[in-house]
Amino acid sequence: METDDAEATVRDYYESLRQGEPLYPYFADDDSLVKFGITEQLVGYEAVEEGLREQTRQSKDWTVTSHELRVTQRDRHAWFSDTVEMAWTDTTSGTRREFDSRWSGTLAKRGEDWKFVGMHASAPHQF
């Protein structure tokens, strides 16, 4: 996970999601951290950590396909956007969930590592 490249951090996060590995280490241990998922808003590191632990417990067989990853890196800050096809199996119901989604976020250099300080994932609503 250690990398001095923000884009590599985003790609590593996607791979960790696919592998069912812990995701919370990618986030800054900061009370101002905010993560918006398709169905939740988590504020502060402790809430993000617990939310991601629960997500890992309740999901498996992830697919994450990036289509338009764009990362801009400046000194100790970076931001990204992407369109992502994602799918997983809900372990509590056995239901397969699939979304075309949009992701964006901000990263900050903490020591030698890039950490997410904000992340947003949403699924476009079909009218």
Residue 122's pLDDT is: 93
* 8 A C-beta contact, residue 63 and residue 46: no
Residue 38's pLDDT is: 86
CA 102/CA 18 separation, integer angstroms = 17
Give the model confidence (pLDDT) of 2-54 as tens digits: 456 999 999 999 999 999 999 999 999 999 999 999 889 999 999 999 999 99
Q: pTM score, two decimals?
A: 0.92
* Three-class secondary structure assignment of the chain: CCCCCHHHHHHHHHHHHHHCCCCHHHECCCCCCEEECCCCEEECHHHHHHHHHHHHHCEEEEEEEECCCEEEEECCEEEEEEEEEEEEEECCCCCEEEEEEEEEEEEEEECCEEEEEEEEEECCCCC
**Which CATH number is associated with domain 6-122?**
3.10.450.50
